């Protein structure tokens, strides 16, 4: 299901937005935070990169792929 499909249902929705981690340690912290927030059952989560998508590091790229799975 796409985010646009979720929003079009007309029901209230909520999500969490994260900034991409820049180090392996920050990535693990992000994953732990997400595990703790799972109980709130957000409709989706998103990862926000720098303005205009600047500087996506290999850590950030791997983190996004892991979140999507």
Which of 30, 20, 29 minimizes the C-alpha distance to 57? 20
The answer to whether residue 17 is catalytic is yes
CA 8 – CA 14 distance, rounded (Å): 13
Residue 42, C-beta contacts closer than 8 angstroms, at least 6 positions apart: 14, 15, 16
Catalytic site positions:
17
């Amino acid at each position: 299901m796409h985010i646009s499909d979720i929003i079009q249902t007309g029901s209230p929705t909520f999500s969490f937005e994260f900034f991409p981690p820049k180090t392996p340690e920050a990535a693990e912290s992000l994953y732990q935070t997400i595990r703790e927030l799972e109980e709130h059952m957000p409709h989706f989560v998103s990862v926000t990169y720098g303005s205009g998508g600047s500087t996506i590091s290999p850590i950030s790229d791997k983190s996004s792929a892991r979140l999507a799975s």
